[in-house]
Chain A
Amino acid sequence: MSKPELWVIAERRLDHVEPTTQQLITKAKSLAGDQFKVVTILLEATTDHLENELTAYGPDEIRIVRDDRFPTATDAEHADALKQLVDAYQPNSILFGATITGRSIAPRLQAKLQTGLTADCLDLRFDDDTLVATKPSYGDNIMCEIICPDHRPQMASVRPNTFVATPATGDATITTATVTFHPVDRLKVTTARPVVNTATTVGDANRVVALGRGAASATTIDTATKLAEKLGGRIGVSRPLTDQDRFTHDDQIGQSGNTIHPELIINFGISGAVQYLVGMQDSQTIVAINSDSHAPIFDVADYGYVGDAQAFIAALLAQFN
């Protein structure tokens, strides 16, 4: 008997694969062992070859459905196509990235399948063939383990950058499948424009360049602004910089400002007073650059550089260009 399938639903990001898809393939492979076959489901246009960005991560199979309507298809049209594939292949579990797209399509598919879906997970494991999904609640203050014991497939969406994608050996078999595309005439995407940065405030930015007293010159702020643009993020500041004309309380990170947990925060010239740290220490990846090697910011950082913040920020931007 063939192994039950563990699916990763590939997602597109402009002309590329959304990185969360690659992260999920790596995680799925480590979960699968000999028990499951890891299958990446890819819905793409006839001229697309997004599978080329997936093979290196070593799923057992990449199953492609091609239709030129997929790149602009709506949530319901995607969910309908996936429902047909689920009916045909009966996977054990389905993983989505908890991106806006993933969090819109997955529950629609869940309702069609009348099964369980756990959203925005931070960890996954299997107990026998039951998926145990760990999800945060109450603004990440509480963790819940959730299972779906009696329904298949089991579904979960996983927060981007929770897992690290690792290239793997093993040749993915590339296959094609067909579904009937059922267009929904009552909803049309009339325009779609790429945008570099959809964040409007430091509170909803996924990437944050944070500036403190040690990175407060006008030149450094200009450099930081360019760096934030390159990263697709926003600038945030510690309290002393809110006295500058260029910043307001809305830009402040910390207990009396915004509590943020972006995917990436790079702290320049911030020592890390307690009231600052509580506002950002749950960020996924924390980088700190400060001239004082004993600064508390290094206690919460993943990467640290002891040295001049203004010189570092200039060097970093130069290498981005």
Chain B
Amino acid sequence: MKIVVCIKQVPETNDVTIDPVTHNLDRRGLAGVMNPFDKNAVEQALQLKDADSDAEVVLLSMGPDDYAESLREGMAMGADAGVLLSDRAFAGADTLATGYVIAQAIKQIGDVDLVLFGRQAVDADTGQVGPIVAEFLHQPQITYAASLRLSGTNEVTAERLLEDTKQTLVATLPAVVSVRSELNTPRYPAPRNIQLSFAKPLTVWHHDDLDLDDSRLGQAGSPTIVTKVYAPEPVKRELTPLTGTPTEAASQLITALKTRQLI
């Protein structure tokens, strides 16, 4: 069984600032790390591999050459190989253009049974690329999986937590699954695995290595444009006093929470 885990490299901290002159995001000096939610997806893949020693876990990422860092991190956890999609033509991609290149790369890798994603990246917080890739691959998707196991030679079973419902879903492979962070605790790379990881293949694919429609790449292939980036104003709150006896005040609160649809 071949499992691809899609990972993103993100800044080490979310404490980013806005450059007061250029109004651009100031990311200088921020080291890149693997998106923490993606580690749960890597861990899930490795657990499936632990249960089926024939499984192969390939990490896939799109970004500049220094994204190799987080691919190495995942290989040190135990993944077998890494593929980095790196080309100036891919730069400036929004979720749609990113999903397109990743889907094309998964086709190129070939015979992929299962594609895993973390629930979302901690920087952009969209969680969109998984479903987009599933659509482009015409495969079933299970988002926000709270558990995942192989339940047959060609089948996975997952639990999914909606706001008010726990679903059990059964998917015939190939399929795309995004996982919740509560699913597992990602393993730390053992020293021996770190050493072994340097012998594992890390392939870089550029534009010409993939079958791509150029109109769907990078900025040109991205329907959305970020027009403004700013630091949020602290929320100004106006205090509404609750008055009278505790019973009267509690009744006022219940009315207010009903208006806000919180109860």
A-B interaction: yes
| B1-56 interface (Cβ within 8 A of A) | 11, 14-16, 18, 25
Grouping DSSP codes into helix (H, G, I), strand (E, B) and loop, the B interface class, with mixed when no group exceeds half, is mixed
CA distance A300 to B126 in the complex (A): 28
CA distance A301 to B167 in the complex (A): 36
Q: Which of B74-82, B83-91, B132-140 contacts A (4 or more CB under 8 A)?
A: B132-140
Asked if A189 and B224 make an inter-chain contact with CB atoms under 8 angstroms apart, the answer reads no
Complex: chain A residue closest to B262, CB-CB: A264
Is A70 engaged at the interface, CB distance under 8 Å to the other chain? no
Q: Looking at B222, B243, B247, B251, which has the most chain A CB atoms within 10 Å of its CB?
A: B247
Q: Which B residues are CB-close (under 8 A) to A101?
A: 162-163
**Chain A proximity of B201: nearest CB distance (Å):** 30
Is A311 engaged at the interface, CB distance under 8 Å to the other chain? yes
Asked if A304 and B241 make an inter-chain contact with CB atoms under 8 angstroms apart, the answer reads yes
**Chain A proximity of B242: nearest CB distance (Å):** 4
Write the B154-168 contact mask toward A (1 if CB under 8 angstroms, else 0): 000100111111111
CA distance A188 to B162 in the complex (A): 16
Q: Which of B63-71, B189-197, B225-233 contacts A (4 or more CB under 8 A)?
A: B225-233
Instruction: Bin the interface of chain B by size.
Output: 35 or more
Write the A173-199 contact mask toward B (1 if CB under 8 angstroms, else 0): 000000000001111111111111010
With A139-B122, A282-B235 already in contact, the answer to whether A161 and B165 are too (CB < 8 A) is: no
Asked if B135 and A285 make an inter-chain contact with CB atoms under 8 angstroms apart, the answer reads no
Q: Which A residues are CB-close (under 8 A) to B143?
A: 75, 100, 103-104
Asked if A264 and B257 make an inter-chain contact with CB atoms under 8 angstroms apart, the answer reads yes
Asked if B95 and A100 make an inter-chain contact with CB atoms under 8 angstroms apart, the answer reads no
Asked if A144 and B226 make an inter-chain contact with CB atoms under 8 angstroms apart, the answer reads yes
**Chain B proximity of A91: nearest CB distance (Å):** 15
CA distance A251 to B102 in the complex (A): 39
Is B152 engaged at the interface, CB distance under 8 Å to the other chain? no
With A142-B18, A164-B259, A204-B182 already in contact, the answer to whether A315 and B162 are too (CB < 8 A) is: no
Write the A299-317 contact mask toward B (1 if CB under 8 angstroms, else 0): 1111111111001101110
* Count of interface residues, chain A, beta-carbon cutoff 8 Å: 96
Q: Which of A14, A76, A145, A315 sits near B246, CB closer than 8 Å?
A: A315
Asked if B126 and A13 make an inter-chain contact with CB atoms under 8 angstroms apart, the answer reads no
Asked if B168 and A189 make an inter-chain contact with CB atoms under 8 angstroms apart, the answer reads yes
Asked if A198 and B161 make an inter-chain contact with CB atoms under 8 angstroms apart, the answer reads yes
Asked if B261 and A108 make an inter-chain contact with CB atoms under 8 angstroms apart, the answer reads no
CA distance A319 to B247 in the complex (A): 8
Complex: chain A residue closest to B159, CB-CB: A191
Complex: chain B residue closest to A104, CB-CB: B143
Q: Which of A144, A189, A307 sits near B229, CB closer than 8 Å?
A: A144
CA distance A210 to B164 in the complex (A): 22
Write the B231-263 contact mask toward A (1 if CB under 8 angstroms, else 0): 110010111111101110111011011011111
Q: Which of B134, B169, B227 sits near A145, CB closer than 8 Å?
A: B227
Q: Which A residues are CB-close (under 8 A) to B136?
A: 111
With A14-B164, A141-B14, A186-B175 already in contact, the answer to whether A161 and B241 are too (CB < 8 A) is: no
Q: Which B residues are CB-close (under 8 A) to A194?
A: 164-165
A interface vs B, CB < 8 Å?
13-14, 18-19, 22-23, 74-76, 79, 99-101, 103-108, 110-112, 114-120, 132, 135-151, 161, 164-165, 184-196, 198, 200-201, 204, 206-207, 231, 263-264, 281-282, 285-287, 298-308, 311-312, 314-316, 318-320
B interface vs A, CB < 8 Å?
11, 14-16, 18, 25, 94-96, 99, 122-132, 134-136, 139-144, 157, 160-172, 175, 182, 222-232, 235, 237-243, 245-247, 249-251, 253-254, 256-257, 259-263
